[in-house]
Amino acid sequence: MMLNHVEIYVNDLKEEHQFWSKILDLLELKILDTWKTGFSIGTSKSYISFNQSYTKSSHQFKRTNQGLNHICLLSFKDKNWILSELAKRNIKILYRNKVISEDTVFIENSWGLKIELLFVNESKKISP
């Protein structure tokens, strides 16, 4: 199975765009499209769309409630270099003092979405 796309509604589209703009190059992703109420990022094979929510939610996002827990993105870059760049760009890194896996790093955006970066070397590259 290969996932084509995911669509996520957000309270603050501008803030979401700023967050992803800081890390797109690190993840080898591009802004694929923008429109008045949203934008999409990804590759030629899959993408994530972010859309402005029609109603602002006052509920705090919680990953353990029903719904999305986190997204996982593959990276073929050096994990230590990525960690260094994330820190320079003031991206919140989760579990800094706790090793979840040698192959992963978790970051978080402003509203609490957890993004797992799974580091895959070229010899383990996943093919469609």
In tens, the pLDDT along 54-105 reads: 887 667 776 666 567 889 999 989 999 999 999 999 999 998 777 677 889 9
- Does residue 38 carry a pLDDT above 80? yes
Give the mean model confidence (pLDDT) for residues 18-33.
95
pLDDT of residue 55: 82
Burial of 12-30, coded b for 16+ CB within 10 Å and e otherwise, reads: ebeebbebbebbeebbebe
Q: Distance (Å, rounded) from C-alpha 80 to C-alpha 127?
A: 24
List the end-to-end C-alpha distance of the chain, in Å, as a whole number. Answer: 8
Instruction: State the average pLDDT for the chain.
Output: 87
Q: Distance (Å, rounded) from C-alpha 117 to C-alpha 28?
A: 12
Give just the sign of the alpha carbon dihedral 47, 53, 56, 62: negative
Model pTM score: 0.85
Q: Distance (Å, rounded) from C-alpha 67 to C-alpha 60?
A: 13
pLDDT of residue 117: 95
Which CATH number is 5-53+68-124 given?
A: 3.10.180.10
